[in-house]
Structure formats: C-alpha cells, structure tokens
Structure 1
Amino acid sequence: MPTMNMIQALNDAHKVVMRADEDVVVFGEDVGYFGGVFRVTEGLQKEFGKTRTFDAPISEGGIVATAVGMAAYGIKPLIEIQFADYIYPGYDQIVSEVAKMRYRTGGEWTMPMVIRTPYGGGIFGGQTHSQSPESLFTHIAGLKVVVPSTPYDAKGLLIAAVEDPDPVIFFEPKRIYNGPFDGHHDRPVTPWSKHPASDVPEGHYTVPLGKAVIVREGADLTVLAYGTMVHVALAAVIEQGLDAEVIDLRTLVPLDIETIEASVQKTGRCLVAMEAPRTSGFASELVTLVQERCFYHLEAPVERVTGWDTPYPHAYEWAYFPGPKRMKTALEKVMAD
C-alpha cells in the first residue's frame, strides 16, 4: 500500500475521479500547468488535457459562478479556491446559488460540485492566507462541509464529495499537508511516512460523509476536534496521561451527532478544540449540541479551546494556535470540576 502525505493523497483522489468520470473538470487559479500553489493538482493537465484541467482568472466570484452553470448543466466541477481567505468574493454565489439550487428547483436540479480550499495557519501567511472560516459555511443550509485530518481520509472524503449530488465545501488544513504538527514548533510530530493514516490504498475507495471516527478510545473525557486540531488534541491528552476519547469529526455538516452523544454519555465530560476564533465558531455549536443531548450525563461544564478573537497575527502565529499549553489548562479544568 503506498505511503502518501495529504497533498499526494488529494492529488491521487483527483486522478481517480477524473479517470472514472469524464464529466469531472478541475479549474481554479494556477491549478493547470503550475499544478497549484501546494501542488495538489500537479500533473492533471498533462494527463487529462486543458479542457478538463485549466486555469481561471483571479476572480473567485467568476470561478464559483462558472462552476454553478457547469453543475446545473450536468458537469461535475471540482474547483480550487487558492486560499480560504480568498473565498469571500464567491460567497454570494455559494450562499445564493450553490446552496439553494436543489431547493429552489424542487429537486429538479442538483449542484454536483466540490469547492476545495486550503484553510488555517501554519505557513506564516498572515491575515490573508491563514483564516479558518468554516463556521460561515456550516450555517448555510444546503451545503456539506468536510475537513480531513489524515491522508487516508483526505482521499476517501474527496472521492465521496465528488460523487455526492450536492455541493461540498472541502477545507484542507494546510498546516498538516506534509505531516501533523505538535503546536510548539514549525515541524512535524511524526512524518506522514511513519503515521498509520499515511497508508493510502490505490484506486477507488470512499470515506462516508457525515461519519466521525474515534481515533483514540477512552473513558474519562471526550475530546471533539477536526483538521489540524485532531493531532494537537491527541498530543495533549497523551502528554497529560488522560484516558480520553478523541473523536475526529471529519464532516462538520452533516454532523455525526450519534457518535458524539454516545461518547459523552459514556465519559461524562467533554472538551471541544478548534483553530478558528472563539466567538460564533463551530465549537459553540458543538458545545450547545452536547449540552442539549447529554446534560444529565455531564459531570462538568463543556470546555472549548480555540483561536483568539483577533485578526490573524502574522508575527505570533504559533502563539495564536490553540496548542498544548492552552489544551493543558482546559483539560485540567474539565477534569477538576
């Protein structure tokens, strides 16, 4: 079984779906000849030609609008927004057209399209290359929102997203494109080549949308995380010596609330971790759901560890990240109550 990092796994997923279905087309800024800023689309134009993998003008609104027309016609656009920070010019099209098409046509038309975009920090990109805007899309009815944390999941989830008849926003955590990080330094904890989730099967397979995975079983505490924060959470609970159950959500919408509910009812305690700013973030939704569904099982208030409510700090990127120090404080609090 090949060993891949997340970039290679995503690239392989593109090849799988494009070889299987000639209606799948890939476009975006620099995705053609150049192969994308992070090389996720490298080699696609050479294999599939310029009519199926091509560069678009620097106009995110135009990219999304073009994909809407294609999807309505029956083509399956798999588009890239170069950074999640650039997606806002296309937000109106996503909210008003992409998310609403199935509903406004009474199910006559669907939107079989995927919008891929790298999100979060980790490359010292400052305010305009490091944001985590996932909550802006989880709030929009009609969209599915996916965030992988491993190469294996990245490939399987992307193939599942392309095969889904409804629109999917696919956030790729750029900090772990090449390997998981420890939150302290700009280096991997373990290279993907030594990480079990780097074993990526060849060919076609899918990871179902809307299904979380328990990456570490435990009895004393449930930790909910997604993307990069899965690895930070794992490192923190191991460092603290806690018998914690860590759940990788993988898909934010639809959310696997059944797995969350069963875990919290078992452990009686819950901590939620995300990189995005605290106020109105997806962690708030998770806290609310846990309180609503598991209140009588809780032995302590639900805690959350998040980014700051500030514009993304360029010079203090690694201080901004919710790392082991803040995780330790929250873990001690939820276990002490």
Structure 2
Amino acid sequence: MISKKDRAKGALMGAFIGEALGVGPHWYYDLEDMRAEYGDWIDDYTEPKADRYHGGLKAGEISQAGILLKMMAEHLIENDGYNQAAFCKMMDDDFLPKISGKAMAGPGGYTSQSMRHLWRARVKNELPWDQVAGNADTTEAIERNIAVAIFYAEDLEALSLNITENTALTQSDNLIGSLTVSYSSVLALLVQGEKLDPQISAKLMQAVDDGKLPFHKVTSANLNPPAGDNMVKESDLYGEGIFASPDGLLSPSYMARAAVDEDIKIEPAWKAAVVYGMPCAIYHMLPAVYYLAARFKDDFEAGVLHALNGGGQNQVRTMLTGALIGAQVGFPRIPERFIEGLQQKDELLSLTDKLVEKI
C-alpha cells in the first residue's frame, strides 16, 4: 500500500525531476538534430548547449518552470494554503524584478510567454493585477499549480476555485482555465490513490455532479441524454458552471483507453509526441501526457524518458508526466539516480517534505 504522503511526495518530486531532465534537450523540433546532439536515447540529466534556451545551466538544474513551482510550494507552506493577495505580492517582490520582458533572459535562462506578458503589463505599464492576464495557450499555469493540486488533493472544490483564480491572473482564455483545472483534478485523484485508467473520467464527472468541480454538465450517467429536467445538476454556487463543458475531464480516460487497447499501437512510446503534437499548446501537451502516464503507470523511469525523447516541448511533457506517474508509484519507487542528480536535491526534498506535512 502506497501512503498518501508518498504519493504526494512522488508527484512533486516527479515534477521537479521531469522539469530538470528537459533542461538540456528542450525544444528540438528536428529529432535528428536532437539525436545528433544528445544521442539516440537520452536517459539522464544533460547540460544545455550554450546557444540553446537554458544555456549556462548545469545538468540536473531546474529552470524557470521549476523555479515557479518551487515558489508556489513555498507560498502554500508559508500561508497554509493558497492566498491570492500574498501570491501576487510574492511575484511582485521576488520574481518580476528578476525578469525583463525578454525571452532569452531571467531565472532559468528563458522566460515564458505568459511571464513576459505579465512583466510588460505589471512592471512596464503598471497595470493592476486584475488587468494583466494574457492570451498564452500554454501549460504555464498547470506547471506552477502542481503544488496547489497536491495541497488540495482531498478537497476538489477548493482545488478548482483556487487554481481557477490563480490561472486567471496570467492566462485569460477560459479554455486554458478549464484544461488546467482538469489536469490538476486528475493529479489530485492520483494523490488520493486512484489510477489513471479508463474509469478516471467517470470519477471526475461524479465530482461535477456532487458540485465539487465547476463544469457545466447536462448529460446523465455514461454521457447519456438527460432523463428529464431534474437530471441537470447545477449547484447553487456554480449555476451553469465556470467552465462551458466537462470535456477536459473526459480526455484522460480516452488516452488511458488508448494506452491499454491492443489494437492501438504507438511504438516506441515516445512517438506519442508525434501523434498528439510536439508544440507547446496545452491541447498538444495534455493528450501525450495522459497517454504516457497511463501506459507507464508503474514505471516512472520509462514514462519520463519516453516523454523526454519525444522532442519538441519535451520539458513540460516530462514535467507533467513525472508528476502523474510519481503520484501513482509513490516517492520510494522513483529511481535514486534521478534524486541524486538534481542540483538542488537537498533543498527540493526538504521543501517537498514540508508541503507534504501540510496535507
């Protein structure tokens, strides 16, 4: 039996490991170029080339996505949960002064689109926090909110409201919010002890019916038509739901079915990145992540390495896959070499233990 604390620790450390694994071979869209630089199979931390996105970092060092996740975990520990005003102050005081609105600069060697937009809006134009969200269609809110999903794993309603609020600070598209909450809810169920299998979406949909997740839903069980007006369950809190449809909650089961269907073959598994798409957009990232995390639910090493070797936006793919598999296998089953190879091993382990003690 894997304890909840081991699953939570596996999720957070799995995310840090996945993010650090991607520092070297990040954003190679020509797989032949990536293989020429790093060999036919990347199986460990690597140092980025000087002229690449994270040039100057060492093998096993986290970059900006990992730094922001670390800051979010510290915020949750200090505030005993998510506090929007305190989060904004932390960003104003501790992060935004370190970036400049330029891509190839800032902590981790590269600054993401949503953070560049945030800097221009908040620092250069001095806009209030409720006017700084941009239109990035990427996973940047998911990445930092991994810690929030772990913290609120037993309270899906608090998880969904806090993550929706935090996501809306930097990304204005409601669909991005929906998919961010969907991934976070999947991670929460895995921390609870569920598996990423074909039944997981039914459990998420039950949470919608129970008023715990703010998605609009009109179907009855198994996506059948409503059997009368009383079948539409809309809580007093959500009305028609913050999010227009629950489709983001349904996707994980389809990817999990593909992973176990003998008639569906993606070989080698890293080619899931080609099947679902190598670019950064959230709608490319999540299907590949769910597929790999379901296929390698018992094998952390195989899962993160196939996520990594698919190229493209492999850093995020590996980070998100690492969190989902880490939650399923638990921290003790993460290979020791991935822990030992982290540059900030002691600090990240201590931080993770402190967060886990809070849940």
TM-score, normalised via structure 1 length = 0.31
Structure with greater proportional strand content: 1
Indicate the structure whose relative CO is greater, using CA pairs within 8 Å and at least 6 residues apart.
2
TM-score, normalised via structure 2 length = 0.29
Structure with greater proportional helix content: 2
